[in-house]
Structure 1
Amino acid sequence: MIEYIQSILLIVAAFFMIIAAVGLVTVNKNTKNLVYARIHIVGLFDIACIIAMIGLGQYLLAGIYLILAPFIAHAIANAYWKKEDRENNMDLMTVEEEVDENHPFIHPKAKMQALESENSEKLKVDERFSVTTLEIDEGE
């Protein structure tokens, strides 16, 4: 009976791996946030490997993999975000060199600093005004 359960678990794991492999191969290379899409697909590989390890009786290894795999995926995504993801990371969108003014994601650093200083002037607090609250009685 245990052999049948192990066989079923290995077949399910193989099915998940085939689905993930097809998804990884067919993902469009021009997709926005391609790295994140690939990490998401690889998560299916992780689940398949955990199921396969349980099917093979490697419970401790499956538990360790279950705990470590999300941390590793997060570390990869975070490293990409911090160093290369100019499309989504606001800190990386500013550049020193000349760029096209019409580019939707990359802006000259001087332009960004001018916008920030303009916004900070609008947010200055006027000392002459104060905020008060008015209590309203529901019975009135």
Structure 2
Amino acid sequence: MIEYIQSALLLISAFFIIIAAVGVLTLPNTTKNAVYARIHIVGLFDIACILAMIGLGQYLLAGIYFILAPFTAHAIANAYWKKEDRENNVDLMTVEEEVDENHPFIHPKAKMQALESENSEKLKVDERFSVTTIEIDEGE
């Protein structure tokens, strides 16, 4: 009887994995909030894996996975929200941050590029990044 229950759990988990795989593969990249949709679909993978582990008799591993999977999904979604989701996160929509002109260590990018082009006219300046140096006076 236990073998039938294990077999049924493995078949159900295989069915969930097939559905989730089709969902992930058919989701177009142009979908709004595609990252969040993919994380949501991967939740089916998580449930299928938990059912498969229970079906194989790995109860402790299934319990650990049941607890850790939501935390990892939330961490991925939160990291994407904080660093890359410019469509929904209003804080990331700013193009240029305001920089205090009197700050001794932080300077606007335009000012640094002007200084670089002034100091090195022979070298080609790459606009993707800028390198600055600091002169330290021991008397300060």
- Name the structure 1 match of 2:84: 84
Q: Which amino acid aligns with 2:59?
A: Y
Pairwise CA distance, 1:96: 1.4
Q: Which runs of 5+ in 2 are unaligned?
A: 98-140
Please name the residue that 1:16 is paired with: 16
Give the Cα separation in 2 of the matches to 1:30 and 1:75: 23
Distance of 1:62 and 1:28 partners within structure 2: 31
Structure 1: stretches of 5+ with no match in the other structure: 98-140
Q: Per-residue CA shift, 1:96-128, capped at 9, x if unaligned?
A: 19xxxxxxxxxxxxxxxxxxxxxxxxxxxxxxx
- The answer to whether the aligner puts 1:44 opposite 2:44 as a matched pair is yes
Q: Distance in 2 between matches of 1:35 and 1:6?
A: 33
Q: TM-score, normalised by structure 2?
A: 0.68
- Paired with 1:33 and 1:24, the residues of 2 have a C-alpha distance of 13
Mapped to 1, the partners of 2:96 and 2:7 lie a distance apart of 59
Aligned residue in 2 for 1:61? 61
CA apart distance, 1:28: 1.3
Most deviating of 88-97 and 28-37: 88-97
SS, match of residue 4 in structure 2: helix
Q: Look up the match of 1:33.
A: 33
Provide the TM-score with structure 1 as the length reference: 0.68
Give the number of aligned pairs.
97
- Supply the distance in 2 between the matched residues of 1:92 and 1:34 (Cα, whole angstroms): 18
| Structure 1 outlier segments of 4+, above 6 Å | none
SS at match of 1:95: coil
